[in-house]
Structure 1
Amino acid sequence: MNIQIINGPNLNLLGVREKSIYGDTSFEAYLEQLRTRFANITINYYQSNVEGEIINKLHEVGFSADGIVINAGAYTHTSVAIGDAIAGINTPVIEVHISNVYKREEFRHSSLLARNCKGVIAGFGMDSYRLAIENLING
């Protein structure tokens, strides 16, 4: 099984930015934990702060990966284009958020991606990624 994780803008700063919201662990450190926990599957990781690069990655893997876990960051609430890219691929996509977006600013309560995703997981910290991977594995 081949899972692609895609992180959007500012998620390269995990572990150093807004620790009260996002914690103090870098994504790279957490990724090693995921790869150890799910040693029998391949977990690929991609992060970009650029909307078009995220779309290109979705196009690249969206017909070959077994599942995609995406945290599009603020693009979740603004990008029709990323939502359209998810709609245009065959691979199931799960939208994740580290924080509970519904406890935050009102603009974060709306997702332009969710309608094209298999599901949405929010508010479980980094564990949101693990929950998404487990769902993709178990179908």
Structure 2
Amino acid sequence: MGNASILLIDNRKSLIQNIRKSFSEIDVKYTLFSAANEKEAWSMLDGSEKIIPIPKIILIDINSTNNKGLQFLNAIRNHTDLKSILVFVITDSKTDKNKVAALNLNIAGYIPMSFESQTLNSFMTVLNDYWNIIEFSSQK
């Protein structure tokens, strides 16, 4: 991913550790920021704890972070400087209502998956391949 900058929004420490381990196992260069909830993430994107440069990718389980994930996605899509961030919803939930709502907010992908090491490695490999073939603007 050419030193990717990713923001993971999830309150499960084990998931954060598993994602870091997965990146390491497939030899991905990355900077992974993590936020326990949407409020913390917003501060990192447009508040007092702002990350510079803004991450190009957000990974979020909208079903596990206080059920405010859809409101958060809507705020991103309506923000001039944030609306182009690629958002991937990764979840072990089968809730179709949230899936449809997230897809309607122009997410890059809704990935139903377990968070086991092998499944994460497969997803991170695909994400790495995707990151390496798309082009981003050099602007914000």
TM-score w.r.t. structure 2 length? 0.60
Partner of residue 34, structure 2: 46
Deviations 1:77-105 (A, max 9, x none): 54453113321205432323242x22xx5
Identity of aligned residues (%): 11
Partner of residue 138, structure 2: none
- 1:82 paired residue among 49, 72, 79: 72
Task: Say whether the 8 Å CA contact 1:97–1:121 is kept in structure 2.
Answer: yes
**Which 5+ residue runs of structure 1 have no aligned equivalent?**
15-25
- Counterpart CA distance in 1 for 2:32 and 2:108 is 19
Q: Which has the higher helix share?
A: 1
Runs of 4+ in structure 1 over 6 Å off: none
Q: How far apart are residue 61 of structure 1 and its match?
A: 4.2
Q: How far apart are residue 53 of structure 1 and its match?
A: 0.8
Deviations 1:11-64 (A, max 9, x none): 22x3xxxxxxxxxxx53144123134234x22313031x431122223334863
Task: Say whether the 8 Å CA contact 2:59–2:87 is kept in structure 1.
Answer: yes
Counterpart code for 2:132: I
Report the CA distance shift for 1:90/1:6 in structure 2 as closer, same or farther (over 3 A): same
Alpha carbon RMSD of aligned pairs, Å?
3.4
Task: Say whether the 8 Å CA contact 1:86–1:117 is kept in structure 2.
Answer: no
1:27 aligns with 2:16: yes
Task: Say whether the 8 Å CA contact 1:97–1:122 is kept in structure 2.
Answer: yes
**Which 5+ residue runs of structure 2 have no aligned equivalent?**
135-140
- Counterpart CA distance in 2 for 1:45 and 1:116 is 22
Partner of residue 54, structure 2: 64
